[in-house]
Amino acid sequence: MSEKNYFTINEIAKKTQLPQYTIRYWESRFKLLRPLRLSSGHRRYTAKDAEIISEIKDLVLMKGYTLSGAKKVIFSNRKSKQPAFQATRPSDDTIKLLEDIKKDLQQIVKEC
């Protein structure tokens, strides 16, 4: 059986043992927490969203941080986990492939 990719707010609330209104409030306070919104307005959360909510819960409710303090901790954790971006030159094969794709696309545009 495959694991679900998206969860409702009710499922996340049960999983994190938090009220739905708390999760909605935290969405307004933490930019990292932005669930997918369907055209109907319903939220769909990912497993990553659930991890962020759990992290906020741990910091705020278990360790006693304020929301702004929790933001700072989460931001510094995310910043330290991100590797520095290093641009690498694509291989000659990759460049050739991209050039071929570009030519093919240009030909298709001409034919239309």
pLDDT in tens, 52-86: 999 999 999 999 999 999 999 998 888 777 665 56
Global confidence as pTM: 0.66
pLDDT(1) > 70:
no
* Domains within the chain, CATH numbers bracketed: 9-84 (1.10.1660.10)
For residues 33 and 18, give the distance between their C-alpha atoms in angstroms, rounded to a whole number. Answer: 15
**pLDDT for position 82:** 62
Which residues 6+ apart lie within 8 Å of 11 measured at CB?
45
